[in-house]
């Protein structure tokens, strides 16, 4: 359950963690979590421009790119919007999309429109590209591709949110947003994805203020971009004891992606003495976060579906 000081305690989805297994289908095993430590594995692709690692959830794919100068990510007929995250201030790129070239500086998040696009590095560093699993070529490169050969029936289908009123185009936002105690993290969304980019945390998290919770019907991707985190995972008990799983405590440095299945109780804590930073990934966007006034920092650019309008917890 959330601590009372956590802004998420007011969400309509903030159910007690003990209820996580209440509605599970009888006899169906729960999925394990994916833990992809990119720093501890060889890249899936390597060339003179970049080394790239891939991992996925059911609805999303993450590419971690250690980029050198030149074109490091190229799409000819991308089916939908994707996200580009540059966490470091010293890294910058030029994105070509919709026939227009635009500079994207460090410490930015950009949403790239469907169709043809190119990401060309000017100042080398780490880039994170997050796309949907509609891109079969990207899914095939993922280190955990086999885990999704059979979809998880508990994960809600990927359904796009409405097209922006002024149409698809490259949209870029600075990560340097002041903290607000009434807002949870720093959230941006597009028509296919929602990213919560947490402010950098100095030192370990207070172990008396953790936030164990679960999600009924969507996965969470927890991307470590700096420092070290411990992801604590607990699978709910079902009627069939043969399907029970032991708790997991996964220690992950940067960069790494942990994909947490629906119904799994989880909380993460920074454990490094220095700077720690993590990004939560959801696809499609979360209605409950979008319902909270001011939580989604670019909500004016991306409308909500009609069936979420006016719903408040």
What was the pLDDT predicted at 311?
43
Q: What's the mean pLDDT when you consider all of the chain?
A: 92
Query: What is d(CA 107, CA 200) in angstroms, rounded to the nearest whole number?
Result: 12
Cis status of the peptide bond prior to 182, with omega within 30 of 0: no
Q: CA separation (Å) from 249 to 25, 170, 313? A: 26, 38, 32
Q: What residues form DSSP beta bridges with 197?
A: 279
> Which CATH code for domain 7-297?
2.60.120.10
17 pLDDT more than 50: no
Q: Give the position of tokens 């971009």.
A: 225
Residues 2-10: what's their mean pLDDT? 60
Q: Tell me: the pLDDT tens digits for 87-128?
A: 999 999 999 999 999 999 999 999 999 999 999 999 999 999
Which residues make Cβ contacts (< 8 Å) with residue 271, sequence separation at least 6? 204, 205, 228, 229, 230, 251
Cis status of the peptide bond prior to 287, with omega within 30 of 0: no
The answer to whether the beta carbons of residues 194 and 304 sit under 8 Å apart is no
pLDDT-based confidence at 22, cuts 50/70/90?
A: very low
In the chain, what are the domain boundaries?
A: 7-297
What was the pLDDT predicted at 19?
46
176 pLDDT more than 90: yes
This prediction's pTM: 0.91
What was the pLDDT predicted at 304?
94
Q: Tell me: the pLDDT tens digits for 247-286?
A: 999 999 999 999 999 999 999 999 999 999 999 999 999 9
């Amino acid at each position: 359950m959330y601590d009372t000081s956590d802004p998420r305690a007011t969400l309509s989805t903030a159910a007690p963690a003990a209820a996580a297994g209440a509605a599970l289908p009888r006899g169906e095993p729960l999925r394990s979590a994916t833990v992809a430590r990119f720093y501890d594995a060889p890249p899936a692709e390597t060339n003179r421009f970049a080394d790239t690692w891939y991992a996925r959830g059911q609805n999303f794919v993450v590419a971690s790119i250690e980029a050198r100068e030149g074109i490091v990510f190229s799409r000819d007929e991308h089916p939908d919007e994707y996200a580009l995250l540059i966490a470091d201030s010293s890294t910058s790129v030029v994105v070509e999309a919709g026939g227009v070239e635009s500079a994207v500086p460090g410490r930015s998040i950009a949403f790239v429109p469907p169709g043809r696009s190119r990401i060309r590095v000017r100042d080398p560093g780490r880039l994170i590209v997050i796309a949907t699993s509609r891109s079969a070529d990207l899914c095939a490169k993922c280190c955990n591709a086999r885990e999704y050969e059979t979809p998880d029936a508990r994960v809600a289908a990927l359904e796009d949110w409405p097209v922006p009123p002024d149409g698809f185009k490259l949209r870029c936002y600075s990560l340097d947003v002041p903290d607000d105690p009434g807002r949870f993290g720093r959230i941006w969304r597009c028509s296919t994805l929602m990213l919560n980019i947490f402010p950098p945390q100095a030192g370990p998290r207070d172990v008396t203020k953790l936030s164990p919770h679960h999600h009924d019907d969507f996965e969470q991707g927890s991307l470590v971009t700096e420092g070290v985190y411990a992801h604590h995972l607990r699978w709910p008990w079902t009627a069939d004891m043969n399907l029970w799983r032991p708790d997991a405590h996964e220690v992950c440095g940067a960069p790494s992606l942990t994909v947490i299945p629906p119904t799994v109780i989880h909380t993460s804590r920074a454990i490094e003495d220095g700077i720690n930073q993590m990004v939560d990934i959801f696809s499609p966007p979360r209605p409950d976060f979008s319902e909270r006034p001011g939580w989604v920092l670019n909500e004016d650019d991306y409308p909500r579906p009609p069936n979420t309008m006016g719903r408040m917890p």
